[in-house]
Amino acid sequence: MTKLKLILKDGTEVVGESFGYLPKKDETIDGEVVFNTAMVGYPETFTDPSYRGQILVMTYPMIGNYGIPDEASDGGVSQKFESLTSHIRGLVISEYCEEASHWQSKKTLSDFLKAHKIPAISGVDTRALTQKLREHGVMLGKMVPESFEAKKNMKIEDPNANNLVAEVSVNKKTILTPKGKIKATVALIDCGIKHNIIRSFLERGIQVIRLPWNYDLSTVKEKYDGVFISNGPGDPETVVATIDSVKWAMGKDIPIFGICLGCQIMGLAAGAKTYKLKYGHRSANQPCIEEVISEGKRCYITSQNHGFAIDEKTLPKDWKVWFTNANDNTVEGIRHNKKPWFSVQFHPEASPGPEDAAYLFDYFIEKIAGDK
């Protein structure tokens, strides 16, 4: 079987058996090497735009056992995935299951990866590789043919140097209407949105005005009741146009809700600062503590995928931390003391993962449709 290797920035080389796209002789695939600890949900994970530019290491020992479902979409929204394509640059796993067994499976993971030109290797000690990433932090890496000889001080492209949001956002405004009665309308800023967020709004009777990341919110002619800022990849400081739109919405006292990158953007718009986490949070089992509820603290198990966070020390006095990560005490959500502005770093829509925090969509809808 053909073999490929992953070369890390520090010179570490990991060789594995290829079961995805096979790079040409001189072709190299650069990316940021990160790990994910989720046990299920690889189709959703691979199609999550927040993974743009990343080579993904899966810690669960066997991947591919339930195949890949139909890639059908409706009105530009995937029915089962988190976007219309795959966004990871490469995949590293321990064991690949060649025979898929699931009633919804339409193709094998190998066929899916080849169709989307994603190189992948199996037979890797992913536990050792993950330990290395935990000690050092995320590292740049390069997936190459086994015969490729690495040079000293080899250059590896850093995806975070680019505006990744511009690569994954939509390029024009569209309006998505739910079946049945419309409860309210949301202006949704798409920074690389997971499609289950859109589905979560539509299922609750919310009309969605889907906007590109750099669309001037002040020029939207359609009437809307609130603003939503989506998840997405990369450094939040690169999406200046989105930050400016959120500042404008704050100036108009419009209700605002953000998820993941949207949380970081809201923090920047409020005047706080963000920073890069050592190895990020990428899993479906992250415990988060809600800090401001009348009954006291409560823990939720959440799905996450982010590499940046808000610096709590820089948060303005009229804002407070809403959720905190129980593992490392990083900020997982913020809210304004008086205004209807709030956001969370985790994914209440899950996909994959628990739905403990799905109530946050209803909380936002109460703010924008409570009087209707």
pLDDT tens-digit map of 22-50: 998 778 899 999 999 999 999 999 999 99
281 in catalytic set? no
Domains of the chain and any CATH numbers = 3-161 (3.50.30.20), 164-369 (3.40.50.880)
Mean pLDDT of 132-158: 90
Q: Is the pLDDT of residue 141 over 80?
A: yes
pLDDT at 292: 65
Least confident of 157-166, 270-279, 286-295: 286-295
Q: Angle between the 240-251 and 261-270 helix axes, to the nearest 10 degrees?
A: 60
The active-site residue, picked from 87, 306, 336, 347, is: 347
pLDDT at 96: 98
Least confident of 139-153, 222-236, 274-288: 139-153
Mean pLDDT of 172-199: 97
Mean pLDDT of 295-316: 93
26: CB partners within 8 A, 6+ apart: none
Please give the single-letter amino acid code of residue 37. Answer: T
Cα end-to-end distance, the chain, whole Å: 62
pLDDT at 372: 58
330-368 burial code (b ≥16 CB/10 A, e <16): bbbbbbbeeebbbbbbbbbbbbbbbbbbeebbeebbebb
Mean pLDDT of 227-246: 97
Q: pTM of this prediction?
A: 0.95
Nearest to 211 by CA among 176, 236, 178, 179: 176
Average pLDDT over the chain reads 95
The active-site residue, picked from 44, 71, 260, 332, is: 260
pLDDT at 242: 98
Helix and strand numbers (H, E) in the chain are 8, 21
pLDDT band for 151, please (50, 70, 90 cuts).
confident
Q: Is the pLDDT of residue 291 over 90?
A: no
pLDDT at 293: 56
The active-site residue, picked from 71, 290, 332, 349, is: 349
pLDDT at 87: 97
Structural element, H or E, at residue 229: strand 226-229
- Give dist(CA 240, CA 166) in Å, integer: 11
97 in catalytic set? no
Helix, strand, coil shares of the chain as percentages rounded to 5?
25, 35, 45
136 in catalytic set? no
Could you tell me which residue, 217 or 160, shows the higher pLDDT? 217
pLDDT at 149: 83
List strand residue ranges (DSSP E) for 69-133, in order: 73-74, 77-78, 90-92, 95-96, 120-122
